[in-house]
Homo-oligomer: A and B are copies of this chain.
Amino acid sequence: MAQDRPLTTPPARKPRADSVKNRERLLLAAAEVFRAGGPEASLEAVARRAGVGIGTLYRHFPTREALFEAVYRREVEQLVDLAAQLCEREPPIQALRLWLHAGVGMAATKRGMLTALALAIDSSSEIYAYSFAHLTRALEALLSRASAAGAIRADVGPEDVLQAMVGLSMMGRQPGWEANAIRLLDIFVDGLGASAIGEMPES
């Protein structure tokens, strides 16, 4: 009697093999589909591309939000970590540039995440807000450092730069769009520095 397994504690069984595989496939497919079709894209398309039934998708991710979250949270976390690292080992402007480059080149999701971030700006959904808040904070560190060094103008907030990063990366899907986005972002950072010149005699 006392050995009865407690009904309230599902005994944490080892995750089934095909389940793990399906989850991975779904995340991959979702990243691709969202990248192409935006965050309104059909969940059935995701399931189809993942090669699983629609029911399987819903078992793994009961809501569209849950799927988004799973797809993007890791990316966001990596970007946040990267900001901290760059602050320590790169000069201010260079750190900023590299971080923005990373934002563009983020593996696996690319435009998908960017689209999501674009929405974050006025969407009230959980994951968007989460992403927006964390990325903003990460950027803030980079910006205030660069600003303190007089390397960039001081009247630009992290939201502005985030918006620029997303906006300049969103357009264009030709081969090579990433390199192009990086080029445009570099120009933008040049602009940040250019306007700072009059304000603080450099070094």
Contacts and interface: CB of A to CB of B under 8 A. Distances in A.
A66 interface: no
Residue of A164, A167, A168 with most partner-chain B CB within 10 A: A167
A122 B164 contact: no
Contact of A187 (B51, B122, B166, B195): B195
Nearest to A166: B171
Contact of A7 (B51, B121, B174, B190): B51
Given A168-B168, A192-B191, A193-B194, A160 B174 contact: no
Interface residues of A, number: 34
Given A187-B192, A191-B192, A164 B172 contact: no
A194 B151 CA distance: 13
A100 interface: no
Contacts of A172: 121-122, 159, 163
A168 B164 contact: yes
Contacts of A166: 167, 171
A-B residue pairs, 9 tightest by C-beta: A191-B191, A167-B167, A194-B194, A190-B191, A187-B191, A163-B171, A190-B194, A7-B51, A122-B173
